[in-house]
Amino acid sequence: MGKNRQHRVGPVASGIMHVSVHSRSTSARRVIGGATKKVSAAPKNQKSFDSPISNTVKKQSYKKRPQSRSVFATFQVEFESRRKYLTVSINKVPIRLQLDTASDITLISRSNWELIGKPVVSLTNHRAQSASGSTLLLTGKLACNVSFNNVQFSGTCYLTECPNLNILGLDWIEKLNLFSVPLSSVCSALKFSSSSDIAEHFTKTLKTTFNDVFQSGLGCCTKTKASLKLQPGSTPIFRPKRPVPFAALATVENELFRLQQSGVIQPVNYSSWAAPIVVIKKANGKVRICADYSTGLNAVLGSHQYPLPVPEDLFTKLNGGKCFAKLDLADAYLQIEVSDDSKELLTINTHRGLFQFNRLPFGVKSAPAIFQQTMDAMLNGLSGVAAYLDDIILTGSNQEELLHRLHCVLERIQQYGFRLRAEKCAFFSHFHQISWIYF
């Protein structure tokens, strides 16, 4: 192992807008109008100038000299809007980094590391020091393939646990030849990456990373099954079928066939229990077949004792958010299997005969509580997330925090085997753009 090396990390790492040149280097570079200018290092007895952020620039008491031996940054309260960002491709994934010529190294956060495929992270004995002099913990370093504006190279960046710290440092700035082009040209490339562009890139990346979650078709929960309990002394209730209007007959038969092919229902020849069906026409012209368990089963079914959240609970979890996302589960209840001893209770009586449900159907008295309990268990321990039945709302103070939370939630959904309806999901939205039906 070599000796420990210490790197500078620019003002963005600490929030203290003061650029100092370390004594370990005899000169430093900064970009001025596209040119690289040499700046001498400060003498060892030179005191650092740590100025708090204010609307005014602190005046210096020393006399002006023809050749200054230190570099100071002049800035204002609205500094965040003046920061420059660059979207580079890391392992073929677009990642947004803040351009920082005061940083020796390139840093990415854990959420972005997950987005680029979780490449192998090796230990490092390097240390990073922020502009304020504090030490920034580096989790490790990783090798990756980088490209921007027809420039490609294999580089090394460092992983940090700071959630919002993604910096394009001098090491990559040099390899991308950003010093050799006019600053205006670089800025124009940066302006191309607007907030909407970044949100669109992140959305595509999430859908690619979690492709199985956004696939069409019905998901299947791998963690639990629904079990229905009857009240003591209950006796079976069998109801006859209801007639189906001739105009809807073909559509209903097609839906029964689809449900059978997807494993939601299976035909049976005998059952002590049966409920008639209700056919509901959807906005897209298709139909939904629901069982009318109000005709008998619900009256003798024991209640599943689990509370549904109230609005106050939901809004408390989403408090303080500025960016929002909404995830919608496709045919939510039907993604949960029912136990074998509960299937006969869920038999439906149709013009095509008897069918048993293998999945949890709509209309069962216990279904909402069972599904809500499953959602809460899946999302347990995650911040900025609230679920009401099949709708999941996420929030973050900025796009990157929301992206990290989306990644965590999608990982849980993937682990549970659920699938989302992509066309009904909304990513990186404002609160007024999120529709959430609360019953």
The CATH code of the domain that includes 327 is 3.30.70.270
Cβ proximity of 356 and 285 under 8 Å: no
Domain count, the chain: 2
Q: State the pLDDT at residue 230.
A: 94
407 shares its domain with 293: yes
Bridge partners of residue 85, in order along the sequence: 98
CA distances from 121 to 104, 116, 117, 144, 407 (A): 19, 12, 11, 10, 19
122 or 51, higher pLDDT: 122
199 shares its domain with 257: no
Does this model's pTM top 0.85? My answer is: no
Longest dimension (CA), the chain: 100
164 shares its domain with 113: yes
The count of residues in the chain is: 439
Cβ proximity of 425 and 394 under 8 Å: no
Q: How far apart are CA 137 and CA 348, in angstroms?
A: 61
Residue 2 inside a domain? The answer is no
Residue 56 inside a domain? The answer is no
187 shares its domain with 267: no
Give the end of a domain, one of 182, 205, 228.
Answer: 205
95 or 327, higher pLDDT: 327
What is the band of 360 on the pLDDT scale with cuts at 50, 70, 90?
A: very high
422 shares its domain with 324: yes
The CATH code of the domain that includes 126 is 2.40.70.10
Domain hosting 120: range is 81-205
Cβ proximity of 193 and 139 under 8 Å: no
426 shares its domain with 365: yes
284 shares its domain with 342: yes
Does the pLDDT of residue 263 top 60, yes or no?
A: yes
190 shares its domain with 257: no
- Residue 19's nearest CA partner among 170, 131, 109, 181 is 131
Residue 182 inside a domain? The answer is yes
Cβ proximity of 24 and 79 under 8 Å: no
Residue 235 inside a domain? The answer is no
125 shares its domain with 179: yes
- Mean pLDDT within 272-294: 88
189 shares its domain with 259: no
- What are the tens digits of pLDDT across the range 238-258? 999 999 888 889 999 999 999
